[in-house]
Structure 1
Amino acid sequence: MARQLEEQIAGRFAVGRRLRVLDVGMGRGAQALRLARAGHQVTGVEQDAAMLASAREALAGEPEGIRERMRVVEGDGRDTGVHFLPGSFDVVLCHGVLMNVEEPDALLAGLARMLAPGGLLSLLVPNGDARAMRAGLSGDWAGALAGFETGPYRLRKLTATLAGIGAPLHTWYGVRVFTDTAAAEAAVPDDPETLLLVEERAGRTDPYRGVAALLHLCGYRG
């Protein structure tokens, strides 16, 4: 997914521009650090104490220039309006967080307000449209039946939500198309890059991306 994000940033912003990035639910800070190393000014928000400790430890091991470009904030992603002014960021990331909050639409609206005009909103969510198929492939027939029911995180609903908050969907990718359903005895290639290339290709190609475990959605502030 890092390659997909880099692709969107490269296609949207001038080469060499130092972006203001907000990573909500930064976890251990791997993505935030990657962007700070690339020269961007990054603010990571996380409320889990263990994750915060790991992120701060990782940051402490970086060169001074990178440490100066990255700020770690303890807080809830739903409280971005408390910490930051609207329009403060060029890129806002929210990866693997929405499914853990009670009112994801409210969180999304708050994140969109943080974007400057032309800014990128990057989301990683479960793919509700693939629940039935992926459960069926694993032999979970009750889960497959339940997967047909309407639920959150379906592409059509998310597309409408992003349009409604002023960050309409620009493009989307599938993440973990094959790896979640591969047989347990499937061999890992000697060159892991081959596996990455397969997933990368499938994640941007129909119909494969539509049955991925996760969706990576990229919306832009008008």
Structure 2
Amino acid sequence: MVARQLDEQLARVFPVGRRLRVLDVGMGRGAQALRLARLGHQVTGVERDPRLIATARGTLAEEPDGIRERVRLVQGEGRDTGVHFLPGSFDVVLCHGVLMHVEEPDPLVAGLARMLAPGGLLSLLVRNGDALAMTPGLTGDWTGALTALDSTALLPRSRSEADGGTPAAPAPEGRADRLSALTATLHGIAAPLHTWYGVHVFAGRTPGAPAPVCSVAPDALETLLAVEERAGRTDPYRGVAELLHLCGVRG
């Protein structure tokens, strides 16, 4: 779903057919980075976990020469982009599923924005701090729901890797972001919010709801994607999604 939303924004922000310079910070196993390289873009992936970057390198090694030549993998922290790259070096910067594990996200977001060339696109995938009470509330965990109404702290839970849907280890405790706060942050770093989507509005939130996309039967997948895609761009549904996908454009 995030890939569909991202492609929609790339088509809106950049001329058709333009080959883009992409930075994927916290790329995980590299699913999104590899997908964009297959589309012809030049991609740099940054990942701090040596196991994940080793997996990404192994997957990349199986690709044709032309695709491998378009991908650079860097082991490092997202906050160190200023060490590895010059300001304005990229047309697109992705930071998916990272901010929830960063105690103070604003400096990281500001650093990512500095990597963007004028007119560049910043894509953030974050936990929705305005909807943390939804999942415990829908499952009858009233104490958890009451606590979540006044908090942006996350409880431990299993999750799927944000960029590719591959099952991952249980997520540690972390934090979530509120739409209003991130909107203000993007405005303050000269990459104002261009558009935003909800991700995981219905899928996987309650025992009776459809399972996450990675485990849905093929004959039901397109219907699930159609529902999630429409809900993820429609009020009020997108406002209570489990995740938010925000796209800012550098002025």
Q: Same fold (TM over 0.5)?
A: yes
Number of the residue aligned with 1:148: 149
CA apart distance, 1:184: 4.4
Contact kept, 8 Å, 2:138 with 2:206, in 1: the verdict is no
Please say if 1:98 is aligned against 2:95. no
Contact kept, 8 Å, 1:43 with 1:71, in 2: the verdict is yes
Please say if 1:47 is aligned against 2:48. yes
Number of the residue aligned with 1:173: 197
Distance 2:93 2:109 in 1: 10
Distance 1:22 1:137 in 2: 37
Distance 1:87 1:129 in 2: 32
Which aligned runs of 4 or more in structure 1 are off by greater than 4 angstroms? Answer: 184-189
Number of the residue aligned with 1:198: 227
Alignment CA distance shift 1:161-1:185 (3 Å): closer
Alignment CA distance shift 1:67-1:209 (3 Å): same
Structure 1's unaligned 5+ residue stretches are none
Number of matched residues? 222
Distance 1:150 1:143 in 2: 10
Q: Report the TM-score, using the length of structure 2 for normalisation.
A: 0.85
CA apart distance, 1:183: 2.7
Structure 2's unaligned 5+ residue stretches are 153-175
1:87-126 matched pairs, under 5 angstroms: 87-126=88-127
Distance 1:72 1:47 in 2: 11
Percent identity, aligned pairs only?
Answer: 74
Query: For 1:38-80, what per-residue CA distance to the aligned partner results, in whole angstroms no more than 9, with x for missing partners?
Result: 0000000001011001100110010000000000001100000
Contact kept, 8 Å, 1:180 with 1:213, in 2: the verdict is no
Q: Report the TM-score, using the length of structure 1 for normalisation.
A: 0.96
Query: Which letter does structure 2 place at the counterpart of 1:101?
Result: V
CA apart distance, 1:166: 1.1
165, 168, 188: which one pairs with 1:164? 188
**Structure having the larger proportion of residues in helix:** 1
Distance 2:72 2:28 in 1: 14
CA apart distance, 1:102: 2.3
Alignment CA distance shift 1:185-1:13 (3 Å): closer
RMSD of aligned C-alpha atoms?
A: 1.4
